[in-house]
Each structure stands twice: as structure tokens, then as C-alpha cells.
Amino acid sequence: MRTKQIYNLPNVTDFKNQLLIWSQQFDEVIWLDSNNYEQKYSSFDAVLAVEAFTSIQTDYHQGFEKLKEYQTLVNDWIFGYLTYDLKNDVEPLESHNSDGLDFADLCFFQPKKIFIFKDNQLEIQYLNCVDDELESDFQAIETTDKAPSKTPNQDLKIKLKIHKDEYFNNVNKILNHIHRGDIYEVNFCQEFYAENTDINPLETYQKLNKISKPPFASFVKMYDKFALCASPERYIKKEGTQIISQPIKGTAKRSKNKKEDNELKTSLVNNEKERSENIMIVDLVRNDLSKTAIKGSVKVDELCKIYTFDQVHQMISTITSQVEPETHPVDILNSTFPMGSMTGAPKISAMKIIESLEASKRGLYSGAIGYFTPENDFDFNVVIRSILYNASKKYVSYSVGGAITAKSEPLKEYEECLIKAKAMRTVLEH
């Protein structure tokens, strides 16, 4: 049983900051923050889970089956991540590209301590709470120094796994596949990385979050592995018997000039290439959801709607379905993973081409971070716009990608990647 306590917070922003600093004493930390972005489907504003009571960590072999068994057995809150390479569990695929990060393919834990923010209220839930543990922790958080010591990231030498000419060659190879009819669309990604590098993970996350303010931000610490995520994209959510998926396809930069910014937004609305990219993925998601949906319940609630974030405008669609109450939540993830916005269509052909042309194993990039509730609900983001860090190996990485379709021009695709990479590069270099 969890001991629960509710507090009214006079200053939510300050308390969140103190809580994150306080949380760094633990080996297992997951923080999810909506940054108060107006979302139709949000269950709370932010949540922190720390200190594993039980956990599961595994490679992709029967990964979803092991997760299903663990989630059923625990029947409580669990928080964690799924890496892109779980594709090898879902389909007969392989991952042989270089991997400087070494994240486990799947990792979840049942937290002893959970902090849930909604409006100005904080609900704390502790498992096996001892005496006044909850109250003393709350007081310790309130008295935590709001400004931790600043340790600037050392000078980073950011390198590319795929250089510009090779990127162009690979995009042209993908276009040949498209013209031959092997695929319609592929999400092609490239990694930027730095070796022998020390960064301050929490401070770097806070900088990234501040310039992006995305609705699916997350900070993950699993011992020496960190994910600093400024994702604008929801992968999939389960709320009762309703399933919600919100793929993003279509990006335009922002401008400080209001008139120009509106023009960029209008141009995205009317961009035939971006719309066709988005619609292809909508079809793929509809197909994925139909595997577990009650017949006839898959609906497109929003098609190619423009959402505006601090760094970019994005084209987002919302697809929903209904499932039977007895459908296992992990089966819903298994039948939709990896998310179509990060693969392409048809999915299996696209994933094979990705493996042959990308230079790095994706790992947690284009995977998902999220949680399950005791009621068998869940919510997961898409791990994009993220910095990944292995502190033991001193290896820092961020990847970016874009959808290649028949209308793609290699130079424009390359430039879109650089727009997406800008926020990560900025926080690492300053």
C-alpha cells in the first residue's frame, strides 16, 4: 500500500527545481514534465519517480513478454523506457551499428517515492513508508538550495557519424528505394557525438528544457546513464479503454518577427510534402492501432494540425481507438512499436533500410519514456530532441532525423536536421 499526502504549493516552479536537485541523490530517477503546455489529454502537469523498490532491465530478447510479466506481477506504478532496438523483439530484425551509449534495451522500475503535480497541488505517494519519512523528505526538499553549484560543460568537440556528402548519398539511395516501390517513406537519422566529455546532466537538462518548453520533457537517470529529453511528441497513451497516438511529421522553424512567424506557420499548413508525410504515418498508426482496437473504433480526431513550440512549429495528427477492458496494456505497446513517425512506411522495409544506411545504433533515441499506472493506464513520449549521456564512458550523443519521401530534396532534409539539432548543440556548447 502507498501512503499518500497532498500539499498546496505556494510556488510550483521553485519547488519543482528543488525537487529535481534533491532527487539526484538516488540511482533511479525519472522526471516527466508537460511544462504546462495546453494539452487535451494530460493526466497531470509533472511527475517524479525515484528509488527502485523492484525493477526489470533486459535486452530485446522477449523484451515485451518480460515487461508484460513484470507489469502484471507488480500491479503498481512503474516508470521506465523502451529503446528503438526492441524492434528486434517485435520483428525478425537486427541491430549491428556502433553504440557508444550502452543503454539496456528495456528498463523499468517500481518507485518507492512518487511526486505528482497538478495545478498548485502536489500529491506524494510512498511505498512502505517509515514513520515520518514522507514529511521529513518534504521539509528537506523545501530547504534544498534553489541554485546548485554551476559546473559548466567542458569544451566539447562535437563530431558527426555521417558527414554531409555521405548523408546526401544515403538520401539518394533512399529515393531510389522509393522510386522502385520498396517503401513510401523512411525516417533517416544521424548521430552527433562527443567523446571523453563530462557534462552536468541536470543542469544541461534544465537549460534544454528552458529553451524548448516541450510538453513531453523528461529527465532520466539510471545509475551512470542519462536521458535529457525535450520531446514535443507523444507516442501513445492509454486512458481507461481509450488509446491516443499523436505522431508528428512536418517541421518549420520559428521567427521572432510575428508576421514572418505566421508566414512560416501558414507555409507549413500548405506544404504538400509535409502533409503527405504526415498522412502516410497517420495511415500506418491507424493500421497499428487496429490490431488491438474494437472493430470500427479507430478514428482520426485531428489531421495535420499545427502546434507551436518555442523552437519550431510542428504538424501533428491525433488518432484514437477503443480497446476491450481486458486487453493487456503491454500488448498495445507491442503491436504499435516502434512508433511509425520514427520508422516510415511500410514499417518493416523502412526499418531494414534504416539499419543498412544509418551509422549508429539508435538505442534510446526514437524509443519511448513513460509510465504505467496501477489501473493499467500508460503514457509514453517519443525520444527525440534529446541528449543521451553515459557518464562512465564519458560519451555524449544527440541524434536528429527527418522523413524522406519521393518529394525530398537532400539539401533541404539536411538543413531540417540542423534546425532540429540547434537546441541540443546550443546547450552543450554554452
Catalytic positions are: 233, 249
Q: Find how far residue 52's CA is from the centre of its chain.
A: 21
Q: Phi, psi at residue 249, to the nearest 5°?
A: -150, 120
Residue 364 and residue 104 in contact, taking contact as beta carbons nearer than 8 Å: no
Q: Give CB contacts under 8 A, 24+ apart, made by 66-75.
A: 66/106, 67/106, 67/108, 67/330, 67/333, 68/328, 68/330, 68/331, 68/334, 70/108, 71/108, 71/329, 71/330, 71/372, 72/328, 74/110, 75/374
The CA distance from 341 to 345, in Å, is: 9
| Grid cell listed for 56 | 526489470
Q: What is 247-277 written as a DSSP string? A: -EEEEEE--SSHHHHHHHHHHHHT-HHHHHH
Q: Which residues pair with 219 in a beta bridge?
A: 31, 228
CA angle 67, 61, 282 (to 5 degrees): 70
Nearest to 402 by CA among 386, 419, 381: 419
Residue 25 one-letter amino acid: Q
Place of cell 497532498: 6
